[in-house]
Structure 1
Amino acid sequence: MLQILGLSQRSEAVYLAMLRCPDHGVAALASDTGLTETTVREALDELASLKLLKPSAQEAGALRPVSPTVGLTALLADAEAQAVAHQARVDSTRAAIASIAAEHDHPYDHDRALRLEGLDAVRARLEELQRTTAFECLSLNPGGAHRPDARRAATPLNEEALRRGVTIRAVCRESLHNDADTLAYARWLTGHGGQMRTVPTVPIQMIVLDREAAIVPLDPADHRAGALEIRTPGTVSALCALFEQVWEHGTPFGEQPLTDLNGCTPTERTLLQIIAAGDTDETAARQLGVSLRTVRRMMSSLMERLDATSRFQAGLNAAKRGWL
């Protein structure tokens, strides 16, 4: 109870015992407190150094406890002074951090965009932004496997944000189920209160924080090139609308995707759209995040169901039957 004043637990126990029985010597105090006589003597030395004991005017060589009103109040005043000095140092450090940050942060251009060169700059900036996120973090994640280094960087930030009550909603490709590490991260996120949905393909990579700042890649084909932090309200609103549209059509993580009236899963419908657009199986595999063998197996099943002998015919028959 009195540790903030500099008293150890043993010294506090001895002091309180002396206040109750000022005439008790070392042996009696040991019995009162359950401490050894050696420990009682050490506590008496500590109390004397804190000026909580004074020589007895009645018995030569004896010590008497100083009144709590005098002794403890004096110690409290010292503790308060130390606290004020510590707070002043904290305030000074906070001002220094703000000064360093202001000098370090890059200025926005006339479109209120900040160019972040390289992966390290992106992660550093995301860490700054996520630590101050107040209520919401939205993300579209078109990549395949969740990189271990990216996961290690994101997990503590997401955990801290969730504890603060920030809503985290993420959209990933359905192919995340093919990667054990990414699947484990998805389970961790949803298990800690985050929300995730999956779709066959994700249009772009982006993160939107508090609907005020959006992070999008400089080069969608190379995430290591860096990113652009955008704060233009119109652009951020458009990206939020895109997110909500993709989210609306997503499957909650842990649930099976629903088939449509034609018996097609969302991935099968997307594959038909890719093929009907004239893209190759290789392109479809990259967009869906699955193997070429998986695409060809799915396509073979669709061609059989569509009574088609070629991919081109499958696209035509799918359009005729209203599958697209």
Structure 2
Amino acid sequence: MAAGGGGTGGSAGMFAGLGLSGAEEEVYLLLLTVPGGSAAWLGARCGLPPGRVPAALEALAAQGLVERPATGGGAWSAVPPDVALEELVLRREVELRRARGRITELTRAYRRSRPGAEAGELVEVISGRDSIADLWRTLQLGVRERLRVLDKPPYVRRSDPETELAVLRRGVTMHVVYESRALLDPDRLAEIRTLARAGEQARVLPELPLKLALVDDRCALLPVSAGSELQSVLLVRPSSLLDALVGLFELYWSHALRLPAPGGAEAGPEDHRHRQLLTLLAAGLTDESIARQMGVSARTVQRWVRELMDRFGARTRFQAGIQAARADLL
């Protein structure tokens, strides 16, 4: 039975990212399991078409993965993978770094060819709702370490939780400050809770001055104007302006209240109720609005709020929220 599986030799395998063809990978994997073998013997074991094995062996030898036989027709042998593959990986990493280094140069050439390039390279204007939404998705998919967002309705397009969940699964740190209006929509609130369970760190303020997204320390995205209709955005690249926007985010982040993390399976009904109530209180909702969200009467909400205030010895709802934050409930 062929080590590569079936002798197809054309499909991408586990080492396709290192530039190995299916045939090359199949031959190399087979050689890893035996002390050595001739080209004819390997061809019979792999089931590859005539001529494919010698070509694969030559390609593997050129990449340092196999050693040639001492005599013609002799046995080929595999170079240990911890040596050969590690060197191949390092070579690929060098190539990728070189390619990444070219991105800045290519981006400059791209911007110089666009209308308004004479205005400078630090800020670019993107117009049109579809273009803005596509750019935002591209920035999310390209984030490497950290994404920081001031989230303020209205939205250009319905949010895409799957994209954000994929970002979190990659280990990206995500800090989001939500304006309280975002929590008034039950569907949006459910999405926020899903993201919080996946690792998003969320906080809330009654009001935010603008929408803002900071992608690593590479760029920022914010509206051209503060109007309700988002028609144009600014893409800000590394500059003193970007530094100022980072400072703005950190200021609002430091003043925002943490949203309660959704309770796990071990959380009881009372814990879940308290967390939901604290979330809606932090959003600035009235007792009547909270009652509609939680499916109870306004009188019941008032009783629950009073219980929280008594629990923390608070004289006002705001004090109860502060005490809850200190108790790590928010």
| Structure of larger gyration radius | 1
Normalising by structure 2, report the TM-score. 0.48
Normalising by structure 1, report the TM-score. 0.49
